[in-house]
Amino acid sequence: MTSTPSTPAEGSSGGWTLTGRHVLGVVVGFFAIVIALNVWFLTLAYRTFPGQVSETPYEDGVAYNRHLATQEAQARLGWEAAAAAGPGGPWVEVRDAEGAALQGLKLTGRLERPATVAGRRLLAFRETAPGRYEASASGLTGAWDLSFRAVDARGQAFEGGRRLTWP
């Protein structure tokens, strides 16, 4: 008896064939990877910024109208301020509408990180030159938001802020 080599059936490639189980495995594997990556990204995002910046968000929203009234009164004063990051801490210069340095102000402020309240620092400024006020703050690196309030002897107030960067 002679043997004849077997040939694949018509329409068959003779090798590996894609079945429904293969397709199911690929689809389930794809979605498992997508879900795992989403969970990982959400965990990283929540650990770096939980989303809560204020302890009193409702009260902060209600106070917005008071803030607008303060801004209008401040605009009528015509005061201007400049702030910068110095080697020993932030400094602020305040001038009136004519450009004269404003002396004898009581200036207070706050430094905080742009995205979180962690590390917030309260500042007490002292006048080092006519119209120039400096605060001591050591160990500052990176970006900080400075907000300050200056009040004169008559009770007129000026509020300002600026993002400062230390090396």
Query: Once rounded to an integer, what is the mean pLDDT over residues 67-78?
Result: 87
Q: Mean of the per-residue pLDDT values for the chain?
A: 87
* Cα–Cα distance list, 94 to 82, 103, 116, 165, 167 (Å): 7, 8, 28, 20, 25
Fold for the domain defined by 79-166: Immunoglobulin-like (2.60.40)
pLDDT (mean) for 2-15:
60
Model-level pTM greater than 0.75?
no
> Is residue 93's pLDDT more than 90?
yes
Report how far residue 24's alpha carbon sits from residue 26's, in angstroms, rounded to the nearest whole number.
6
pLDDT at 9: 55
CB contact at 8 A, 74 and 83: no
What proportion of the chain, given as a percentage, has pLDDT over 70?
Answer: 91
For the stretch 19-68, pLDDT in tens is 999 999 999 999 999 999 999 999 998 888 767 777 888 888 888 888 88
pLDDT for the residue 51:
72
pLDDT value, residue 13: 59
The sheet with strand 132-134 has its strands ordered as 80-85, 90-95, 132-134, 126-129
Which of the listed ranges 6-15, 17-26, 89-98, 100-109 does the model predict with the highest average pLDDT?
A: 17-26
What pLDDT shows up at residue 135? 92
CA 117 vs CA 12, 40, 45, 123: distances in Å: 67, 25, 17, 15
State yes or no: pLDDT of 148 exceeds 90. yes
Highest mean pLDDT: which range of 20-34, 52-66, 104-118, 127-141 = 20-34
Dihedral sign, Cα of residue 76, residue 84, residue 163, residue 125: negative
